[in-house]
Amino acid sequence: MADVVVVGAGIIGLTAALELQATGAEVAIVTAEAPRDTVSAVAAAVWYPTKVDADPRVLGWGRRTFEVFGVEAATAVPGVTMRPTRMVVRHDPGIPPWWAPAIPDFTLGAAEWHFTVPAVEMVPYLTHLLDRFEANGGTFRRQRIDSFADVDAPLVVNATGLGAARLTGDDRLQPIRGQVVIVDNPGLTTSIRDEDHPLGPVYIHPRSQDVVLGGTFEVGDTDRTIRPATAEAIIERTTQVEPRLAGARVRKHLVGLRPARVGGPRVERAGHIIHAYGHSGAGMTLCWGTAAEVARLAG
């Protein structure tokens, strides 16, 4: 029997499993979905606390995650790079955001903020994390859990994202639908954000071979089908912000449901269960800090 069973194999579950292994625990992962089929795999995954309110704990998790990704980028971990970012600010740009202390090179501009943050191509990175976990002796099993009573382990980590609503009855959880368009990269190297663009939220995140164009933040919407009109609108406004995107070949369309939670992420221990869910669009941004907190709670 494993010392700990982690339920869920998205970015929160995988990093928590690895941190627990680092403490010497024997860990198993049980999940209904393979890592590449989780919402984590859809994420544009550039460090940024999307739709998460200011909270000292969250800032600490973000700072820790930033540091880990910085080391991984420097050591060529698959999928991890450091990405310069230009953020258009349509309110007072002279007031830094609450998360700025986590970023060493954060700079205030006349109408923009500039900073460099970790960016992750999630499918190769999730594959890397699972490989590390199994190389450390961890076991991985595909199984849908209907109740934590079905999990035979002294300690359980609940990293089920939106699935936690069904397992815990937490009515603070809500989906935030995100639709993105993936296009060929015309040579872009800088991420661009314009959250208050008149036509809708804009983010443009270059990767090694493509660019993620977004996006939408549709609270309570659980529809995972691609909406052509939404895709066209995303392309229109992102091209307005970055004209070099004009005519870029569309590779694919993706939709994911971010696991948002009113009041912020739930990371706490209740009996033999450690809950770690509700990270909204900031799972990648907070993952390694959350994982360290899970390991602390397990100790």
Q: Are the beta carbons of 22 and 295 closer than 8 angstroms?
A: yes
Strands 4-7 and 155-158: parallel
* Contact predicate 173/182, CB 8 Å: no
Question: Which numeric CATH code is attached to 4-298?
Answer: 3.30.9.10
How is residue 46 annotated by DSSP? B
Residues 57-86, buried b or exposed e (16+ Cβ, 10 A)? ebbebbbbbbebbbebbeeebebbbbbebb
Distances (CA, A) of 59 to 103, 104, 148: 11, 14, 30
Cβ neighbours around 88 below 10 Å, total: 17
What are the structural domain ranges in the chain?
4-298
Report the C-alpha gap between 258 and 235 in whole angstroms.
21
DSSP letter at 155 equals: E
Pairing of strands 80-88, 191-194: parallel
Name beta bridge partners: 267.
276
- Report the DSSP beta bridge partners of residue 155: 4
Three-class SS of residue 149?
Answer: helix
List per-residue pLDDT tens for the chain, 299 residues long: 799 999 999 999 999 999 999 999 999 999 999 999 999 999 999 999 998 999 999 999 999 999 999 999 999 999 999 999 999 999 887 899 999 999 999 999 889 999 999 999 999 999 999 999 999 999 999 999 999 999 999 999 999 999 999 999 999 999 999 999 999 999 999 999 999 999 999 999 999 999 999 999 999 999 999 999 999 999 999 999 999 999 999 999 999 999 999 999 999 999 999 999 999 999 999 999 999 999 999 99
Report which of 48, 25, 11, 13 is spatially closest to residue 195, judged by C-alpha positions: 48
